[in-house]
Structure formats: structure tokens, C-alpha cells
Amino acid sequence: MTSLHKLASPGRFLRLADAVQPWTTGAAVLLIGLGLGLGLFYSPPDYQQGETVRIMYVHVPSAWMAMFVYTVMAVASAAGLIWRHPLAHVIAVSAAPIGACFTVVCLATGMLWGKPMWGTWWVWDARLTSVLILLLLYLGFLALANAFDSTARGDRAAAILALVGAVNVPVIKFSVDWWNTLHQPASVTKVAMPSIHISMLIPLLAMAVGFTFLFGTLLIIRVRSELLTRRIRALRLAAVHTQPGPGLGGQATPP
């Protein structure tokens, strides 16, 4: 716990981020490039879905990341509320727009995949609806975080929403098992061996890990930007509070 508190110091975090960011960036570029190359040119078309299956290499990892980023956001929000870590709320606020983008990519590629497979762009299926709710939770979190003049109040309100909304993550994961849906069940994250061929599994996992490193890089950039924004805001508020009022500091008061 002491090491976590030390890491929560903005200065220490930024020093660690400066050392880590080149590695996360390089790994993201390498793995995403490898995943796309294998997925587009090496893996075979599916016997049922044909070439359309290649959308999977972007759709599935973006869906995993949409849930993973929200989980990170909820954990950071809990840390901010319970232990008052200096960086916890900053990490949650910084992660939210990244997770929202992954969710948009998930929904968009899912629609492109669903049209030839299901004959429609959208159905109010349990999996699709719960992912749409996830996007609304991301947007609601961002709206709440910026709805107050006080950064601390916005952080607390958004953190509570993040914790309440965390119940949607297992709903997304298990929706295809709990309800009868058009969406196919899990084929990779199964207790038994994955039911996907190795030629498709390798590029899919490469994309998933690459997206994770991409998230790490974007999160570092966003946290650095958010810290700078909050520091500028604090300096401006301090300057406003220290300015002499009318009739003070040698200013003549009106008659």
C-alpha cells in the first residue's frame, strides 16, 4: 500500500510514465501492425462468414478494451473515493474518453459485421444494448466530471456513477449466456480450449495486446495533459483569490 501511495504522487508517476511510454508505444505499433498483417493477409476466410470475418480483428479487441478501460476507471474511482489517492480521479477522468472511443469503434464495427451476417445494422439484442449503455455511461461520466466549478465535486460525482455503472460490465460479458441473443457466444475466453483456429487466434490476440499497449500510451498522454490542465486551473483560481479588491492595494475607491 505504501508503494501505491508513493506512485500516486504526480511527480513520481510522470517520471515513471516518461520511462514507460516509449516501450508501450513501440509495443502497440509492433503488435497492431503484426495483428493487422496476419489478420488481413495470413488468416483464412471463415467457412460461413467469408472475408467479413476480418472485421473481427478490430471489433473483438475494441469490445474487450471498452470493458477493460471501464473497469480501470471504476477501480481508480474507488481508490479516489476510499483512499483519496492524488492521481486516482485524474486517471479515471483521463481513461474515460479513451474507453468511449473504443466503445464507438466496437459499435461501428459490430454494425458493419452485423449487416451481412444478420441482415440489419442494429437489433435491440442484449449484448448490443448493454454495450450502448456502456457508451452512455462513459459520456455521463465525462459530463458529470465537468459539470461543477469545483474539480473535487466533479470527481466525486463522476466516481460514484463509475462505481454504479460497473455492474454493466459483467452484464455485457455474460449477456450471450443469460439471454437468447443474435450475438454469437464467446469463442476465445472459454473454460475449455478456444473454439477458434490458431491462424485466427494469433492475430486476434496480437491485436488485443496491441490495443492494451495503445491504451497505456494514450492514458499516459491524457494523464499528463489532465495534470497540466488542473495545475493551470489551480493557479488561475489562486491568482483570482489573491487579487486586491476595490479600495485595496493602493487603488483609489470611487467617491
Residues 53-103: tens digit of each pLDDT:
899 999 999 999 999 999 999 999 999 999 888 799 999 999 999 999 999
Of the listed ranges 42-51, 80-89, 237-246, the least confidently predicted one is 237-246
- Hey, CA dihedral for 97, 145, 156, 173, is it positive or negative? negative
96 belongs to a structural domain: yes
User: What's the confidence (pLDDT) of residue 193?
Assistant: 54
Tens digit of each residue's pLDDT (9 = 90 or more) over 130-180:
999 999 999 999 999 999 988 999 999 999 999 999 999 999 888 766 656
49 belongs to a structural domain: yes
2 belongs to a structural domain: no
User: What's the confidence (pLDDT) of residue 8?
Assistant: 61
Tens digit of each residue's pLDDT (9 = 90 or more) over 195-240:
688 888 999 999 999 999 999 999 999 999 999 988 888 788 778 8
Q: Is it the case that residue 253 has pLDDT exceeding 50? A: no
249 belongs to a structural domain: no
Number of domains in the chain: 1
Distance CA 55, CA 57 (A): 5
User: What's the confidence (pLDDT) of residue 165?
Assistant: 95
User: What's the confidence (pLDDT) of residue 53?
Assistant: 85
User: What's the confidence (pLDDT) of residue 39?
Assistant: 92
CB within 8 A of 225, min separation 6: which ones? 94
- Hey, CA dihedral for 107, 110, 116, 122, is it positive or negative? negative
Q: Which cell numbers hold the place of 159? A: 466516481
239 belongs to a structural domain: no
201 belongs to a structural domain: yes
Q: Is it the case that residue 3 has pLDDT exceeding 90? A: no
Place of cell 513520481: 12
Domain span at 35: 15-180+197-227
Distance CA 207, CA 218 (A): 16
pLDDT class of 255 with cuts at 50, 70, 90: very low
